[in-house]
């Protein structure tokens, strides 16, 4: 069930924004990973780790831009990923030990 818009991104390049790419997990149906350029290159050159690049997803502020809200990336034991804001991050850390926080993925406007 869709819960609505989580945050705003841009679909057009801008000098202050970085590209975010979408990869599909071949082993987990419906699981996607969103990454910046450096991690994209790593996935492309190191046998993809079971991921297929689907292309450019959107543009957003980098993780250290200090221009928006932090979006955190969590991984699951099943190979899935979720991207959440600060409030949801705290809830996951307190209530769901099966999720592993991987850090700030990027910054967005909410």
Outline where DSSP puts E strands in the chain.
18-25, 32-35, 51-60, 69-76, 81-84, 99-108
The average pLDDT across 47-61 equals 87
Give the least confident one: 1-5, 72-76, 105-109: 1-5
Q: Could you tell me how many helices (H) and strands (E) the chain has, helices first?
A: 2, 6
More confident residue, 80 or 59: 59
Can you give the pLDDT at residue 42?
86
Tell me what pLDDT residue 102 has.
Answer: 94
Give yes or no for residue 19 having a pLDDT over 90: yes
What was the pLDDT predicted at 78? 76
């Amino acid at each position: 069930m869709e819960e609505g818009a989580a945050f705003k991104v841009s679909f057009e390049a801008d000098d202050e924004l970085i590209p975010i790419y979408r990869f599909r997990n071949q082993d987990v149906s419906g699981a996607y990973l969103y990454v910046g350029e450096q991690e994209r290159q790593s996935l492309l050159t190191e046998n993809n780790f079971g991921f297929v690049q689907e292309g450019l997803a959107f543009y957003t502020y980098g993780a250290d831009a200090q221009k928006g809200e932090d979006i955190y990336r969590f991984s699951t034991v099943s190979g899935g990923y979720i991207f959440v804001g600060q409030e949801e991050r705290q809830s996951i850390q307190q209530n769901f030990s099966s999720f592993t926080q991987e850090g700030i993925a990027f910054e967005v406007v909410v």
